[in-house]
Structure 1
Amino acid sequence: MSATPAEQAPTLAVGALPEPDDLDTAARVAQYILSTYGTVGHEDVFALNQAYGAVREALRILLRAVGAQPDVPGPGHVQTARCPAAHPEDPTPCVGPVVVTVLDAANAGADGCEHHGTRLLASLDRGRVYALPDAPAGAAIRVFKAAGTTRPFPWVDGPRTRPEQLSHAENRRRGDSR
């Protein structure tokens, strides 16, 4: 046994380590977004919606980090935030509250109002819709029925003649199966 007293490892007071500033956080979020969503294509609607939300959040963090805030809406401004099921290229506003979850064939999903839930379900192959627990009675049924007569990606202009460009009802009338 040694006659010299043992030395204690140096300690740091709580909070002595530097906290990352908002700019560091914004940079990490941006790096994560690029690595996760950098190759998202328009055919993956759910990944596209996730990427849109992630970019919006990263911009909010970045603006806060550099001391700028997003423009504050004035009196009479109508909120334009939309439900997660709304495609970024779809110009239509939400109609009512978020009441359904729409799932694709791989069980990736997005919650949405009846309007955007309908448009999303119509744009998916083998999609499904479920009502959220607090949804009004029949919400999922209304979305399912409306999606049957809605063309995929209804905000896209141009002629539509191929079965994958038409609604399920149009394909049934033509005798095509989709």
Structure 2
Amino acid sequence: MRIEVKRRDDFAKLAAPQIVEPVTVDKFTECHVTPSDVAARMVDYLGPQGDYLTLEPSAGTGQLSRALLAAGHSKFELVQVERHNSLASRLHSFGSVVNRCFLEWSGEVAGKVEFPRIIMNPPFSDVRKHVAAAVSLLGRHGHTEAPTLVALVPITFERGDAETLETLPADTFVTAKVHTKIIRIRR
């Protein structure tokens, strides 16, 4: 028995794989990368997309920025603040980047700019200072809806105007060994 085999030259060429350079995070940055599913839920808690100037303080690797863009938010209305040069240099594709310490920068711009939306995963050791600094920048910026801040914080964080939206599983940040929750503050 003979089987005729035809030669096929019409196979599509395989695209060259893109090698993504891994992001290494120094333990001294206190950068704990927000899991993608948690970041997506935080964006949902922030509210619907629109022409809202949005701030991500201590942007780190940009996980929250990625989630904002994936949900349809505009990179042209996103301001990310990150003090570490190596981390800040990777954020430009998500939106504008301020390469500064958030606490210092917020003190300089308070009263000069308002953000109707703020989404953050602040350093856990100075969480109270970072949340207070972010709240000082919350404002309507011409919108009728209440300005909203959504933050991932240690479970021990308490603030009278903060609403706890969900308590995260204990293994969310294994390396930090900190139990966390998501809060929302509306003004």
Above 0.5 in TM-score?
no
Greater relative contact order (CA < 8 Å, ≥ 6 in sequence): 2
Q: Please state which structure has a larger fraction of its residues in strand.
A: 2
Larger radius of gyration: 1
Q: Give the TM-score, by structure 1 length.
A: 0.28
Is the helix fraction higher in 1 or 2? 1
